Structure 1
């Protein structure tokens, strides 16, 4: 089920020009708005989830004035040179525009409960509770623009690409601590058994690192490190090893061709099977079949 931030908003003088573009990842919802604002346009907003606001494009050097108290003289101005703010959950925000202009902006909403489960005690919750009506961080603005592109025009790259962008942005916003290289433990016996059983059941299809990490309620980087600590192999190599075992089982029957065994075991074709099989067994599947088939 897609996370919904349940943000309440009341706006005046704002016209939406294009359909909303949005995408969701575990613990994150990103949406991109393209709007036209009249001179004097204003609004107020409050959300149950913390959010990052990034001004992506503007014409006529239009700018937005922000405050967390209506009528306050303590205001900041967002514009092309100062495009970001971060608003914690439950903090009201008032905005206004002095002159007419067209804006395109990204709202990135965070589900703290999901992110806390994913990153555990490495997530700095205090960083997501600090109001920043304006801040500068080249990493954040670069990642936010790339995420906005994925919302508006998704690339043909593997899902790992957009997942990595979002994970990197959360790492910066949430001040995610690095996994210690020394003294870190592997997966618990119970968790390792659960993960390996899942990989055995699904070894003939591509299992992403993110999928396994979610199963273990760990971040992808922490899970990968812990899995290798426990098994001696990275998750992808372990999966390839299981596919080789499936192929060997099929190849003991002379009626199974190399191509049939390759496809049934989850390899893309016979050459893929041969390449991986040689890495694990030191010989080709054809030679192995001649030695072990009935």
Structure 2
């Protein structure tokens, strides 16, 4: 188990291989040395997901100890204000997550769960937690970062899953965004396609909580807000290039893509053509 904290001088190291931070949470991919790790107590919710080969480990969280093999997909959870430490027999590859109390509170809305209700977990397993972790690892290792909306959606989904498991009940059923709410959100997206929109901004536009917005938008449109945003960017770029007078790089910049190769990759995947074919 690891959280990326700076070790004391006499501790083995956690070597950070990749790191990203979004609104309310951050994730890092770490390769930790063999030995005993004792990070400082934190006000954040910390989770570690094991993604490398199995390693023999002795873990202790809040005076609860457990020994055995940590296998890929196992995760450890350390609630706020709780001391955790572990000792690995060999080096390990671990994804560490940190969630703010504010994000956990948003994720727990409607679940009758609070961040304080989380209990320490060691060598826990959950297919949904593992799948979200894999998606975040792919984002960490991607050559070009996806829009902020994508990472925030994954972080909120992971926090909500942890909160739901703590509440021992599934998330509540939610209706779709109303036509008026959906129109306000899609108009905002259209007006700011070149910006790195956040879930908080879109949820505020709809007048709902962030945790509810992700579900309600999908039910209204049939896809995630991130997927919708990317499709609208690609279609806007297609229209700009078809109209003429812009280079591929200019069209990419005006529609929020990091560069023209990012636009080309997304356009090929969604439309089956490349920007060069539209301008050729």
TM superposition score category, shorter chain reference: 0.5 to 0.7
Q: TM-score, normalised by structure 2?
A: 0.59
Q: Is the 8 A contact 1:51 1:88 kept in 2?
A: yes
SS for the counterpart of 2:13 is: strand
Pair member with larger Rg: 1
Look up the match of 1:93: 84
Look up the match of 1:21: 18
Query: 2: distance between equivalents of 1:199 and 1:148?
Result: 27
Look up the match of 1:52: 47
Instruction: Give the gaps of 5 or more residues in structure 2.
Output: 165-169, 222-226, 257-266, 268-280
Query: 1: distance between equivalents of 2:93 and 2:255?
Result: 44
Instruction: Give the gaps of 5 or more residues in structure 1.
Output: 229-234, 248-256, 273-294
Look up the match of 1:231: none
One of 24, 29, 37 as aligned partner of 2:34 = 37
* Range with bigger deviation, 77-86 or 128-137: 77-86
Deviation, 1:180, is 2.6
RMSD: 4.5
Query: 2: distance between equivalents of 1:78 and 1:213?
Result: 43
Query: 2: distance between equivalents of 1:116 and 1:53?
Result: 20
One of 131, 144, 154 as aligned partner of 1:142 = 131
Q: Is the 8 A contact 2:59 2:86 kept in 1?
A: yes
Q: How many equivalent residue pairs?
A: 226
One of 171, 180, 190 as aligned partner of 1:177 = 171
SS for the counterpart of 1:57 is: coil
Look up the match of 1:218: 210
Q: Is the 8 A contact 1:22 1:29 kept in 2?
A: yes
Q: 1:226 to 1:259 in 2, by over 3 A?
A: same
SS for the counterpart of 2:31 is: strand
Q: TM-score, normalised by structure 1?
A: 0.57
